[in-house]
Amino acid sequence: MSERNKKKWLFSLRRYLAFFILMAFVISCCMLLFLNELVATTGIALTEEKISYAAKITFVNILFLSLLCTVIDEVRRRFMVERPVRQIIKAAKQIMQGDFSVRIPPLRGIDTVSDFRIIADYFNRMAEELSGTETLRTDFIANVSHELKTPLAVIQNYGTMLQQPGLSEEKRQEYAKAVTDASRRLSSLITNILKLNKLENQQIYPSVSVYDLGEQLCECLLSFEEIWEKKELEIETDVEENVTVEADEELLSLVWNNLFSNAVKFTPLGGRLSLSLKKEGEDALVQVSDTGCGISPEVGRHIFEKFYQGDTSHATQGNGLGLALVKRVMDIVGGDISVSSQVGQGSTFTVRLRRGAEGGQNVLRN
């Protein structure tokens, strides 16, 4: 007999003994009460022979009832406990082996609303979430590999070309610039990955203060002045004064820098970039608009996902992490961001934040 069967038989024996002791106690108590009441009411004298016979019959009944309860409990456990447990264990093993497509089928039994059905429901939800996470992880690795491979290939190729003898100064400068640009792109990618990782793992905790949002927006926009002047962009601003917000100033600067960077990048020569800030009820409403290429509805649905780029050729500079950073920051500070766009006409990103106390006085929250 295997060790598992021995344990099963010992467990069944323990249950039988437990039922036997329980039945013996309950029936004995009931019999004593009954006999005492019978003698007190009728005055019948119970002889030793009659009591001995009744005890033997009672003992046999206790044995039978204990066995019957044990069998019923065993059947109940097999269909209502062991079967769903086996299904859950089997599915858990498949999850452990990396098969996130497994689902526990609907549990059928006497109890239509059992705790096992609730467990199975939550298990299926967990498996679905893990499946989505695994897909994201796979996509993340594939995208990181692609994004790392491109600048590394550029650095390797131009580095090899720089080693050619008799290279002209003009070509040397051109190749060196290509290596530098690829290095910066690689550095930017790694920096954004680290920032996003810290944000998603909540290793960056907001340092909340009340400050003037209009001043921050203007400062961030002015940091791109050299770029917009080269592209001869028309800049329009409509910034309402004394609009304060209660948030992490450094985190929000990531949002504005990314939005302005994208607006400048995707707006063609001689285009227009617009910035708007106004109060709307208890919120501050920021809109960054451009007259660039715009995005399609399909791209708009995925634009805040990590590494997603509307330009599938990756011809446009960028690594698809900027707007993912923006979305994560908005989740942390409790704000909201949305985009409206038309292909060929431009895009408008709208950010909504809860306003802080009026006056612009910095108040740090512990």
Distance CA 330, CA 284 (A): 13
Reported as a single tens digit per residue, the pLDDT across 300-316 is: 666 776 555 554 433 44
Q: Are 88 and 30 in contact (CB under 8 A)?
A: no
Give residue 334's pLDDT.
86
Reported as a single tens digit per residue, the pLDDT across 2-42 is: 677 777 778 777 877 787 788 778 777 877 777 777 777 87
Reported as a single tens digit per residue, the pLDDT across 264-281 is: 988 999 999 999 999 998
Which tokens go with 101? 């497509």
Distance CA 300, CA 148 (A): 25
Distance CA 355, CA 211 (A): 10
**Residues 6 or more apart in contact with residue 192 via CB below 8 angstroms:** 319, 321, 322, 325
Instruction: Please give the mean pLDDT across all residues of the chain.
Output: 78
Look at 195 and 128; give whichever has higher pLDDT.
Answer: 128
Reported as a single tens digit per residue, the pLDDT across 218-266 is: 999 998 888 889 999 999 999 999 899 988 888 888 889 889 988 998 8
**Residues 6 or more apart in contact with residue 325 via CB below 8 angstroms:** 192, 195, 196, 199, 254, 258
**Residues 6 or more apart in contact with residue 361 via CB below 8 angstroms:** 210
Region 207-211: what's the mean pLDDT? 85
Which tokens go with 138? 């796979």
Q: Indicate the DSSP class of residue 109.
A: S
3-state secondary structure of 102: coil
Distance CA 257, CA 235 (A): 16
Distance CA 108, CA 339 (A): 47
Look at 186 and 306; give whichever has higher pLDDT.
Answer: 186
Reported as a single tens digit per residue, the pLDDT across 301-359 is: 667 765 555 544 334 444 456 787 788 888 888 899 998 888 888 999 999 998 876 54
Q: Indicate the DSSP class of residue 107.
A: P
Instruction: Return the percentage of the chain with pLDDT > 70, whole number.
Output: 78
In the β-sheet with 336-342, what is the strand arrangement from edge to edge?
234-239, 272-280, 283-290, 346-354, 336-342
Query: Which of the listed ranges 13-17, 42-46, 186-190, 213-217 does the model predict with the highest average pLDDT?
Result: 213-217
Give residue 217's pLDDT.
94
Residue 366: closest CA among 208, 258, 241:
208
Distance CA 20, CA 59 (A): 10
Residue type (1 letter), 228: W
Number of C-beta neighbours around residue 61 at 10 A: 12
Look at 361 and 95; give whichever has higher pLDDT.
Answer: 95
Phi, psi of 277 (to 5 degrees): -140, 125
Q: Are 354 and 246 in contact (CB under 8 A)?
A: yes
Region 117-128: what's the mean pLDDT? 85
In three-state form (DSSP H/G/I as H, E/B as E, the rest C), the secondary structure along 3-43 is HHHHHHHHHHHHHHHHHHHHHHHHHHHHHHHHHHHHHHHHC
Give residue 290's pLDDT.
93
Helix extents (H) in 223-321: 225-230, 249-266, 297-302
